[in-house]
Each structure stands twice: as C-alpha cells, then as structure tokens.
C-alpha cells in the first residue's frame, strides 16, 4: 500500500458520472469526496488471487493492486476495500463501488448481527473471514461511506478498471513478482 494519499476539498462541486467514474468533488461539509472502485480476482477458488483499486477525486486518480499466493475471491474482495480505505490519509466522504454483494451487504446489513453474536452467523457458525471483516470495519470507521453495488463484467468503466487491476495482482503473484503496487498521482 502506498502512503500519503490525501485528496483535498475542491472549491466547486463536480458532477459525478457513475458509469465512467468521472468527477468527485467536495461534500456538503467541504470534505473530500472520493470515488473508489474495488475488485478481487482469484484463479481457482482457493488459488492465487489479486485485488485492484481505482481511486478518483477531483481531477486526480490513483491505482493500487496486489495479491496473495493462496486465497479466495471473497478475501480478495475484502482486501481491495481495506487497501483502498487505508490509502486515504484523512477522513473522506467515499462513494465505494463494488461488484461484491458479499462486501456490500456485509457492511450494510450483516455486520451488526455478526458482532452481536460474537462473530457468529445466524446459524451459529463462525463468520468466514472475520479477520478481514474486523479490519474493514476499523478502516471504514473514519470515513463516511456510501456502499454502492454495481453489476460486475457489465461494461461499468470503474468496475472494469478495478477488475483489470485485480488481474494484474494475480498475474504478479503467479509470476513471482513483488505485489502491492500503486500508480498515479500522489497526494495533491
């Protein structure tokens, strides 16, 4: 993960295009608004996996990707969001776009029940990936997040870019290359 991603508030609002991922401006409170697109990928499930993140704020963007040699798709979906939120150096209004209903529903519907039941499902089983759910909850706590589900592999520009980055992460793992790379503009 790279350090120091600091989106700054802009002086004028920019209209967002959810299909292209274009434009994020300040919230009504003047905090930075960041559009975040995340995806996970796995070749075999379990198998080598990757995560990808595309962050957009104002006229800036940043790409992140990484991977693990033996993981699952759901773990990579969670890891992508954790890495995205961890790249933000200060509290932000976040529009988080994911094609994972597991992530979106987990954060908006299931998490309170899991915590109430001491990380158990309604059926009494241990919650899978509890370590990552707890990390995600901690990463999300300092931001205001709109959890937006998008249909995967359906031509959504932000999701397609995050998917390509996740696959770069898988490719790097398979090739034995270092993973956990970022590209794009640093802190404005």
The whole-angstrom separation of Cα 20 and Cα 58 is: 14
Residue from 40, 49, 86, 158 carrying the catalytic annotation: 40
Please confirm, yes or no, whether 77 is among the known catalytic residues.
yes
Question: For tokens 């759901």, what's the residue?
Answer: 74
- Say if CB 111 and CB 133 are below 8 A apart: yes
Give helix 157-175 / helix 73-86 axis angle, nearest 10°.
110
Residue from 39, 61, 68, 83 carrying the catalytic annotation: 39
Please confirm, yes or no, whether 153 is among the known catalytic residues.
yes
Residue from 59, 131, 153, 186 carrying the catalytic annotation: 153
Please confirm, yes or no, whether 163 is among the known catalytic residues.
yes
Residue from 66, 99, 156, 169 carrying the catalytic annotation: 99
Residue from 31, 68, 160, 163 carrying the catalytic annotation: 163
Please confirm, yes or no, whether 156 is among the known catalytic residues.
no
Please confirm, yes or no, whether 61 is among the known catalytic residues.
no
Q: Which residues pair with 36 in a beta bridge?
A: 55, 96
Residue from 31, 63, 68, 77 carrying the catalytic annotation: 77
- Residue numbers annotated as active site: 39-40, 77, 99, 153, 163
């Amino acid at each position: 993960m790279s350090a120091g991603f600091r989106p700054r508030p802009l002086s004028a609002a920019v209209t967002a295009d959810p299909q292209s991922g274009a434009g994020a401006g300040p919230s009504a409170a003047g905090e930075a608004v960041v559009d975040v697109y995340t995806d996970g990928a796995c070749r075999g499930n379990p198998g080598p996996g990757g995560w990808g993140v595309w962050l957009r704020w104002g006229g800036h963007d940043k790409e992140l990707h990484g991977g693990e040699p033996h993981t699952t798709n759901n773990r990579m979906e969670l890891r992508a969001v954790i890495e995205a939120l961890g790249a933000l150096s200060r509290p932000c209004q976040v529009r988080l776009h994911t094609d994972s209903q597991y992530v979106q529903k987990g954060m908006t519907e299931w998490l309170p029940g899991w915590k109430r039941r001491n990380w158990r499902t309604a059926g009494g089983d241990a919650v899978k990936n509890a370590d990552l759910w707890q990390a995600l909850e901690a990463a999300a706590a300092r931001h205001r997040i709109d959890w937006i589900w998008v249909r995967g592999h359906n031509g959504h520009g932000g999701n397609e870019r995050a998917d390509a980055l996740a696959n770069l992460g898988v490719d790097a793992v398979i090739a034995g290359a270092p993973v956990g790379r970022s590209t794009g503009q640093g802190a404005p």
